[in-house]
Amino acid sequence: MSEKPDSYEVAVERLEEIIDRLDSGQAGLRETLDLCREGRELVNYCAAELDAVGEGLKELRLDELAAKLEVSSES
């Protein structure tokens, strides 16, 4: 897989397909290797997306805290 998935949800769906295929025991040796490589790339993509969202949430909380501090200092 050389293309970036369209979204986190698409990546997770593809990971589920890969897991199902591997669990079926029907994948040959070369296909298993290719699926494992693709799966690793998808896991890395998903982890990066989750990290980015986590950072965004941290920023929101910091902005929220700063606003609360400004309001309480004005009182």
Q: What is the pLDDT of residues 11-68, one digit of tens each?
A: 999 999 999 999 999 999 999 999 999 999 999 999 999 999 988 888 878 777 777 7
Categorize the per-residue pLDDT at 1 as very low, low, confident or very high, splitting at 50, 70 and 90: low
CB 49 within 8 A of CB 8: yes
Within a domain: 21: yes
Closest CA to 14 of 47, 38, 34, 37: 38
Q: pTM for the complete prediction?
A: 0.75
Is 3 inside a domain boundary?
no
Q: Based on the structure, what is the number of domains in the chain?
A: 1
The residue to which tokens 């965004």 are assigned: 56
CA distance 67 to 75: 13
Structural domain contains residue 70: yes
| Cα 21 versus chain centre, distance | 21
